[in-house]
Structure 1
Amino acid sequence: MKFFSVLSFSFLALFLISCSEEVGSLSETKKKEIRTKLRQENFQGVVLVAKGKDILFRETFYHKKGNQPNQLYRKHSFPLGEVTKAFTAFALRILLREKNIKESDPVVKYLSWFPHKEITIENLLKHTSGLPRFIEIDSHFDSKLEAQKRIQVRNSFTSSFLQPSFPPGEYWKYTRLDYFILGYLIETLSEQSYSDYIKETILKPLNMNHSYVDVHDPFLGNSGIYSNPEDLVLWKEELLHPSLLPKKEVEKLFLKTILQDSISQDSIYFGEGMYVGEYFHWAYGKVKGIANLFYQDRKSDILISIVNPWGGTKGDLSSYKSILTESIFGGKKLKLREAPKNQTEVDLETLMKESKVPAIGVAVYKNYKLVWKKNYGVRNLKTSNKVTENTLFRAGSLSKTVTAVTAVKLAEEGKLNLYSNWNQKLLKFHIRYQKKEKGSFVNLDSLLSHTSGLTEKGNWDDPINQNKKHLTDIQDSFSPKPGHGLEIYYKPGSKSRYSGAGYSVIQEAIVEATRLSFPKVITKYVGKPLSWKRSSFRQNLTEADDHCEGHDEKGEILEEKKFVTPELAAGGLWTTPEEIGNVFAEVALATKGNSSLISESSAKYLLTPKMSAANLTVHALVGRGFFINQSGPSEYFFHGGHTKGHKSLAFFNANKGYGIVIMTNSENGSNLIWRILRVVSVQEKWDKFVN
């Protein structure tokens, strides 16, 4: 019951003015390629690419009538917005080292007015404090016409009765207040204003002569620094070849954050003040209508700085960044629907062989309908039988989306209640609480959204569970206690922890409510309405059933996992890209009130974000049965699937009606999944996103 690994996806005009400026060693062919691609995307703003201290490309793109904004010209500074946070984290690291202060120290030790004694400096640096977003304190703050002052923000925070959403360190929540408070901490420890300390400690020593601090920024520390692309080259150099801090101290900024609670540890792709990957880091800021992205590849020593004076989204700027990296590093262009025409292009079958991915199935949707599908490769590398359009792929956790749709249909019929306490409702299964808190209970809504607090310690793959039909018969081999291991490990609703076993409880309720076996319920409520012909929850498929076998990283066939009955809702489905894609397309259509499968209100309920899905990906929110991506100009809903040897993804835009399903039979499937998604989303001109 494992979710797929989410990779960081590093994905009009009267006339166009393209102002060339001094560049380094990037070839003219590459420059032309970059210009052409950015124009095709209607990009406006400034792009700078540097390697080491050398500027390889610095160009202004503008195609609006009238005067160009000052930020498009050289030497004019622009507000970094939340890209400021990396400077704040760096400055604080200097002070902690100088004064021999531990990041594990409570903030209140240095800021007597800070109201939460359990929150540490490290919690603020990594956004694991649980503090509220400021709009939870003042929902109208960002729309107020009059300029707000820093002290007003502080007073509103300290007088708020809102408590941290979760115990510090256990979860991740992006809030401006964390780095706003760190700004005050810098002032207390340095005995200087934030502006003076940043200037004297970082900007002047690095000769960042066109950078400064706006002392009137109400969230100083979280935002407030102004800079320009050339100065950011100097900042990039300091992060890679530090002179103001020992290298091991700077590298702490790039370490993935570890979320830890009584269940497990999860590493997420956020460091200190920036998003991080294995060898790169990046940050996005948007303030006063000006957006910018700072991306640094530490392996190749490449910096990409993008400025958009018209406020492009995080997804927009991330997509422009991907165009640049694809051009700079010279990756071959994937041709999905037609044959390659030259050596700069490559077909999917070639990439599959290189990656040891035997089979891939793809289904593409437009205007809420399937417009193209194709299955590539072989069902397994032993027999080399080719996949067909009927070949079944393992859905893994994509099964949960079908379960969620079924649950809300039963709720529409009055057979299930989304919000009632379930603990005394189920005939055979009762939830164990480690520590019962007043007013806390588990309901269908919290189970669908992985916010119930209910989870298993490990999983139920142990052979001892073979042929077990009921939750009460299951043994969790990771739990020290006898039984299935399902307990409430945190207060329901305080955070989201992915729980496959939570969907086993939903399955239990569905079966009790309908008095049918789970596969029969799915057939009645989803399979028949959508005319499924191939999808099945059977776990004893044979060669005659035309299904893919799973493969490991070396291309070896893996023993097929047979889900026990209580796991079917969480991961037991076999399906085709088209048939599971039709579920997503129907949910998308239902948000417009045009579906006979579920109502508009039920669809919107499923796709309404509840909270961050941080322990899976910092760029997603959890809905009910689906995850939500709001990183671009429009919203996507998605889910992945991972059963050992099988990886898949469904990614749809409910408002625009387009989407894709990609299914593979290999542990190596993730990279090709994201590459196909990138190619299709660009070719079809989808709204941009980060994942």
Structure 2
Amino acid sequence: MRPPLRRFALVALAGCSAVTLLTAADTRKPTTEWLARPSEAARLARVEAGLTPATIPGEEPRRMSLQRWMELYKIPGVSIAVFEKNALVWAKGYGVMQAGGTDPVTPDTLFQAASISKPVTALAAMHYVEAGKWSLDENINDKLISWKLPENDFTKTEKVTLRRLLSHSAGTTVHGFPGYAVTEPLPTTVQILDGVKPANTAPVRVDVVPGTQTRYSGGGITIVQAMMVDQLKKPFPQIMRETVLAPLGLKHSTYEQPLPASLAPLATSGTYFGGKSVEGQWHVYPEMAAAGLWTTPSDLARIAIEVSKARAGKSSRVVSQAMAKQMLTKQSDDFGIGFQWEEGKNRFGHGGSNEGFQCSLTAFADSGSGVVIMTNSDSGYMLLDRIADSVAAEYGWKSYVPRPAPMFIQVGLLARLKGTEAALAWYRSMKRDGAEGKLSPDDLNNLGYQLLREGLKDDALKVLKANVELYPDDSNAHDSLGEGYMEAGQKAEAITHYKKSFALDPKNTHAVQMLQKLGAQP
């Protein structure tokens, strides 16, 4: 099966319509860089020059510019904002708004924030907790009007609450959302929650006792969206504009879905692996609370700054100091309220992955420092850590600990620089030499799908075949090879591996569906 992209946002306007404020950028000459002071230029240049080099076995490390990394991964555009001591210090756009285009990315160019929409939604929800509109720990069904979450054996004792929904511990299903092509009909929120057409995801239900497990759930955040609209009796984009975006003066953000045509010229186009633009430029996300924010790195930085200032008692434009502290306190394994939270490091943030977009927000509450990186490509996640590492090194963030590059990124990088055969030979040597603890069937599975998405079917099949050879008892490896054969038009081979996948994992409903599509039975 296809590996999930890493998923770890704003919108609307102060006092005027979104159209008025956002289209004002049209009249200005595009500027790709903004500096708080001239001295930041040297620091920005050191960030660009300090990207971790590519490591090739048997060769000296290769240092490459950000532009070269973008070319390698076929990422059309990147936008970055850095903040220190609760103030923006620089913002810069790189590349172009659409693959093959010439319009430059600027600091005011809009990107889809994807799942970073969630903690911004949480800020608004917490504002109304303090206003007495609802509470964190009551049964969410007591506040839902247009729809009710079906009760079952899992909810007999423990209930689904706002706190649990916003910390991904409510036991709700549906990890994320693929969005809808711009030409497709859009479901209502109720249709999404019940999994009724034209919704393209399963019903949102509870299948784990609430409060007993942390499991990421975009479906749960969509329940929050329904509750907020039910209680406040306003469209969700208006709620977010009035509660978060306008009070913080965010002039380049909106939760409107679909994006109004008047704002389209300000927005980047999503890009698939391999550099092909998303048809219609982007997908539409009626799951606005979970994935619907259009924004810029600078506006997201302003949100993170507000959270840090509120926690320090220096601002209360959205939530109080007490509420900000609660949001940045561990509520489940990985989360505070809305934000991912790392105990002991005062580090909060979130990542985002929509169709053709990848982004990340990293912030430190004690120092008011952080970085926001947004890209208009599915390949963007392969650069996010590399950029953040360089920023953290330049600004001396002691609590920032770089993460080793995942093996699938290392093998993918080698494939791009030296070819698929060289990457497979290196991976086989790693497995042969006992690097088992660092390796996983997901490594080659990810690379195989990247190659498939780039139209390199022969190379993809080589990789997916190697994965089955190295991990013969992995159900998903066989499932993925089955898909590779399907795309290559080799029906008999696809059936063989889907059957093997099902034999190894009788719960693999995807294999059953593919076999039925191929006219076969498990």
What TM-score results when the alignment is normalised by the length of structure 1? Answer: 0.47
Alpha-carbon deviation of 1:548? 0.7
**1:331-350 paired onto structure 2 within 5 Å:** 331-333=61-63, 346-350=64-68
Letter in 1 for 2:133: K
Partner SS state of residue 628, structure 1: strand
**1:77-88 paired onto structure 2 within 5 Å:** none
Q: What corresponds to 1:467 in structure 2? A: 186
Instruction: Check if 1:609 corresponds to 2:330.
Output: yes
Partner SS state of residue 91, structure 2: strand
Instruction: Check if 1:403 corresponds to 2:403.
Output: no
Alpha-carbon deviation of 1:562? 3.9
Return the alpha-carbon distance in structure 1 between the equivalents of residues 88 and 56 of structure 2.
29
Q: What corresponds to 2:250 in structure 1? A: 532
Give aligned-pair identity as a percent: 31
Q: What corresponds to 1:381 in structure 2? A: 99
Give the greater-gyration-radius structure (CA): 1
RMSD across aligned C-alpha pairs, in angstroms? 3.1
Q: What corresponds to 1:556 in structure 2? A: 276
Q: What corresponds to 2:150 in structure 1? A: 432
Return the alpha-carbon distance in structure 1 between the equivalents of residues 176 and 82 of structure 2.
35
Change (3 A) 1:460 1:331: closer
Partner SS state of residue 433, structure 1: coil
**Any conservation in 2 of the 1:563–1:571 contact (CA below 8 Å)?**
no
**Any conservation in 2 of the 1:471–1:484 contact (CA below 8 Å)?**
no
Q: What corresponds to 1:652 in structure 2? A: 363
Partner SS state of residue 361, structure 1: strand
Change (3 A) 1:534 1:668: same
Alpha-carbon deviation of 1:603? 0.9
Partner SS state of residue 284, structure 2: coil
Q: What corresponds to 1:476 in structure 2? A: 195
Alpha-carbon deviation of 1:629? 2.5
Instruction: Check if 1:586 corresponds to 2:306.
Output: yes
Return the alpha-carbon distance in structure 1 between the equivalents of residues 320 and 4 of structure 2.
28
Letter in 2 for 1:476: G
Return the alpha-carbon distance in structure 2 between the equivalents of residues 526 and 437 of structure 1.
32
Q: What corresponds to 1:303 in structure 2? A: none
Aligned length: 352
Partner SS state of residue 488, structure 1: coil
**Any conservation in 1 of the 2:164–2:210 contact (CA below 8 Å)?**
yes
Alpha-carbon deviation of 1:486? 1.4
Kindly provide the CA deviation profile for residues 651-679 of structure 1, in whole angstroms up to 9, marking residues without a partner as x: 00001111000000011111211111110
Whose helix proportion is higher, 1 or 2? 2
**1:658-673 paired onto structure 2 within 5 Å:** 658-673=369-384
**Any conservation in 1 of the 2:167–2:337 contact (CA below 8 Å)?**
yes
Runs of 5+ unmatched residues, structure 1: 8-321, 334-345, 613-620
Partner SS state of residue 238, structure 2: helix
Per mean C-alpha deviation after superposition, the further-off stretch among 411-420 and 455-464 is 455-464
Alpha-carbon deviation of 1:356? 0.6
Kindly provide the CA deviation profile for residues 243-294 of structure 1, in whole angstroms up to 9, marking residues without a partner as x: xxxxxxxxxxxxxxxxxxxxxxxxxxxxxxxxxxxxxxxxxxxxxxxxxxxx
Change (3 A) 1:650 1:591: same
Whose strand proportion is higher, 1 or 2? 1
**1:294-443 paired onto structure 2 within 5 Å:** 330-333=60-63, 346-443=64-161
Q: What corresponds to 1:127 in structure 2? A: none
Partner SS state of residue 432, structure 1: coil
**Any conservation in 2 of the 1:3–1:397 contact (CA below 8 Å)?**
no
Return the alpha-carbon distance in structure 2 between the equivalents of residues 636 and 483 of structure 1.
32
Aligned mate of 2:296, from 570, 576, 584: 576
Return the alpha-carbon distance in structure 1 between the equivalents of residues 117 and 276 of structure 2.
25
Instruction: Check if 1:520 corresponds to 2:238.
Output: yes
Q: What corresponds to 2:170 in structure 1? A: 452
**1:93-132 paired onto structure 2 within 5 Å:** none
Partner SS state of residue 455, structure 1: coil
Alpha-carbon deviation of 1:389? 2.2
Partner SS state of residue 358, structure 2: strand
**Any conservation in 2 of the 1:645–1:666 contact (CA below 8 Å)?**
yes
Kindly provide the CA deviation profile for residues 521-557 of structure 1, in whole angstroms up to 9, marking residues without a partner as x: 1111111111111211232354753111111110000
Alpha-carbon deviation of 1:474? 5.6
**Any conservation in 2 of the 1:365–1:371 contact (CA below 8 Å)?**
yes
Aligned mate of 1:683, from 394, 417, 431: 394
Letter in 2 for 1:349: Q
Per mean C-alpha deviation after superposition, the further-off stretch among 436-445 and 591-600 is 436-445
Q: What corresponds to 1:624 in structure 2? A: 337
Return the alpha-carbon distance in structure 1 between the equivalents of residues 5 and 250 of structure 2.
25
Letter in 1 for 2:276: E
Letter in 1 for 2:6: S
Partner SS state of residue 487, structure 1: coil
Letter in 2 for 1:627: Q
Partner SS state of residue 242, structure 2: helix
Alpha-carbon deviation of 1:627? 0.5
**Any conservation in 2 of the 1:465–1:475 contact (CA below 8 Å)?**
no
Kindly provide the CA deviation profile for residues 538-587 of structure 1, in whole angstroms up to 9, marking residues without a partner as x: 3235475311111111000012454353x000001110000111111110
Aligned mate of 1:637, from 348, 351, 359: 348
Partner SS state of residue 378, structure 2: coil
Letter in 2 for 1:649: S
Return the alpha-carbon distance in structure 1 between the equivalents of residues 267 and 153 of structure 2.
45
Kindly provide the CA deviation profile for residues 589-647 of structure 1, in whole angstroms up to 9, marking residues without a partner as x: 111011122211111111111232xxxxxxxx2111111124xx623101001001100
Letter in 2 for 1:553: F
**1:171-320 paired onto structure 2 within 5 Å:** none
Instruction: Check if 1:596 corresponds to 2:307.
Output: no
Alpha-carbon deviation of 1:455? 1.6
Return the alpha-carbon distance in structure 2 between the equivalents of residues 451 and 528 of structure 1.
30
Change (3 A) 1:332 1:457: closer
Q: What corresponds to 2:488 in structure 1? A: none
**Any conservation in 1 of the 2:342–2:348 contact (CA below 8 Å)?**
yes
Return the alpha-carbon distance in structure 2 between the equivalents of residues 432 and 554 of structure 1.
42
Instruction: Check if 1:5 corresponds to 2:16.
Output: no
**Any conservation in 2 of the 1:360–1:376 contact (CA below 8 Å)?**
yes
Return the alpha-carbon distance in structure 2 between the equivalents of residues 657 and 326 of structure 1.
37
Partner SS state of residue 363, structure 2: strand
Change (3 A) 1:330 1:593: farther
Change (3 A) 1:399 1:364: same
Q: What corresponds to 1:202 in structure 2? A: none
